[in-house]
Chains A and B, each alone.
Chain A
């Protein structure tokens, strides 16, 4: 690029060129490095949460497995697919911007937004479900009257409660976190793969203590909510970004020569997608095998 601004002594300001730069190349490079630095920052931000996840999962694998089994892998999987499609449409937005194709750009942005919104919609369904089942780890943030809990938990010891048993409505006047099923602990105890932290953490006087187990499952749900919550927040920011892109793209401002904003928003969108690519197995799937095989 060294060539043209040396020769072009007249100061032609390309559209969108900011005053501190000499030419578009410099501006684009700055913006793209800046965006990447921002993403690095985001990775470390989520990284803190993943560290907490790692520590607690290694301490209490059974509680995490139990909590994870109770998440709905169908919704989670669906959302993964939805995000992947939106990533594709986002990538295509950039592609069409590069090809100066305004109409396809607008369509792709709209599609991306639609999938993004679908994702958030599914998340709401899931959150609502947690609310109904008394699985929100904040006291008072669960359904108070008629929370649904397991029909069997009042009669059986906690490890015999089948979590597929029909739910009954059950008053929860203080909106507390509900968890009754500790069958996984029993199983792990019988088969002898409890960690040391678990041998202390789930038992009182040698007996499985449903309340102590519940506390550990609550940690899982806490991490679940913080991680997916922050992820959802990023989605919302992404949607706002898309709205702005839509307006600018509608006006036909992006072209082969100037598509940096599309490209940058795309980076952000894909980043959010990548976070979900990890969240999905870590939150929804790990521990699922305990329900099936050995």
Chain B
């Protein structure tokens, strides 16, 4: 396909997606999934920083019981905007739009996503939605909580609910289009020999995520649209004083937002499957079970949304049904957890930075998931709901789960994406800091929650001690998160060249150059090996790599 081009550029400065054009236009009008991924990476990081700054403000305010640093009204806006930015603009696009976009097509041996123009469109929609939201935040922001519960959001809040809602509405379509693109790509763009059961598990996870995106996201779109119209027209379909029903909003909101939490974890699970298996240099244990459990989570995830509404006034019967299904949906996650552990058995495990994140994920997601069971047990949730126990639970799964997996994935594929190697030393330091800081921040919140400290609150004095722990932990966590920013940037400038396959792994993405050429492969690959094949069949030149010490420092 690109033979002519490669022949021409066979000299050292090989043409890759990065040096293939330097103009702004060559970036903004690109259809190359890799460039789009890089643009996502930058935007997503900016949103993470903004969300992180809000988080810092929350933790500083919560250092003392009184609302002294932030006025109540400001505090309400701060946690709302923290939630909105982190969820809709950072966590949901994080792994799919950055790592998925970059790696998925390469992993299956495609030249690009099936619909590159749609991919670019999705990036633009994300930008427009993001810009719109940021504009609304600058105008004055919102104070409804990220859940936008009515009738507060429709009738009582005098902040920019409508504008932020529309920002989320727009942004939703970016997510939908990304999901659509992945599904099509996985169906039609696999290289010869890349059968469904040879797909890396990351691809399966992305596929499951995409299903949720397509089936769920439109519902949040229509929900916030109704919310916005409602605010404008005051007809009151969510306003009980004139016949509406505020709980209908909760149903519609959680119909998306519960499955959305699986949008926020499945890609992370995919990354972890890659990391655990590859850094144990061993075939993953129970491939089919991990693959199908992703799909099972995506499907069953749609049946449990009512567990966010146990005390909302929904019927007792519905509460019991949703509690039951919540328990069922935990099982596929359990299957994954056990399979990952079993994968490490008799492996040949190396502790590079990505693997540290992988192991960190196993511990943190375990705690996060198990506390999800606490919240699913309906009699217990009555006490726990809307307390810091919930806050701790979801930070464990979202930060301890997805963010950690995202960081692991970034470190893992960084040499592929940039062709440069970062400092292993600082990578490990930062992984440790994140792990320690994270636990210090959020573990105390479980206790606070059980003690009854409500969320979105300035608390009574007896809760202060644990809150101080939490704030201290957040500082450590903050440092741990700023470090990668520094050393990853530094690696771009002065990092040593990574080589095409620094970890000597069999995946297709490691069989093209780093950074990959515009159409990913110089020769269309033909897959003859199973996923995670480390034996002879993989055709890797391990001896050669061992001889070449510079490939990697252990």
Contact = CB atoms under 8 A, between A and B. Distances in A.
Asked whether any CB of A lies within 8 Å of a CB of B in the complex, the reply is: yes
Interface in A14-36: 18-21, 26, 29-31, 33-34
Contacts of B366: none
Contacts of B235: 137-138, 218-219, 222
B21 interface: no
A161 interface: no
A269 interface: no
A20 B110 contact: yes
Contacts, number: 115
B472 interface: no
B237 A52 contact: yes
Interface in A212-232: 212, 215-216, 218-219, 222-223, 226
Interface in A84-133: none
B266 interface: no
B209 to A, nearest CB: 14
Given A137-B233, A137-B235, A215-B236, A30 B180 contact: no
A139 interface: yes
Given A11-B1, A20-B189, A52-B252, A44 B215 contact: yes
17 contacts: A20-B114, A26-B188, A33-B183, A34-B118, A42-B218, A44-B216, A44-B219, A45-B222, A48-B218, A48-B219, A48-B222, A48-B223, A48-B252, A51-B252, A55-B245, A60-B243, A218-B235
A59 interface: yes
A77 interface: no
B187 A20 contact: no
Interface residues of A, number: 40
B184 A37 contact: yes
Interface of A: 11, 18-21, 26, 29-31, 33-34, 37-38, 40-42, 44-49, 51-52, 55-56, 59-60, 137-139, 201, 212, 215-216, 218-219, 222-223, 226
Contact of A33 (B113, B187, B226): B187
A168 B235 CA distance: 26
B180 A215 contact: no
Given A215-B236, A222-B235, 12 more contacts: A30-B185, A30-B188, A34-B180, A34-B184, A38-B180, A44-B216, A44-B218, A45-B221, A47-B219, A138-B232, A216-B243, A226-B226
B204 to A, nearest CB: 17
Q: Which 8 A-B pairs have the closest CB atoms?
A: A48-B222, A45-B218, A20-B112, A44-B218, A30-B114, A215-B242, A222-B235, A138-B233
Contacts of B185: 30
B114 A139 contact: no
Interface in B178-233: 179-181, 183-185, 187-189, 214-219, 221-223, 226, 229, 232-233
A222 B238 CA distance: 12
A212 B189 contact: no
Contacts of A47: 218-219, 222
B379 interface: no
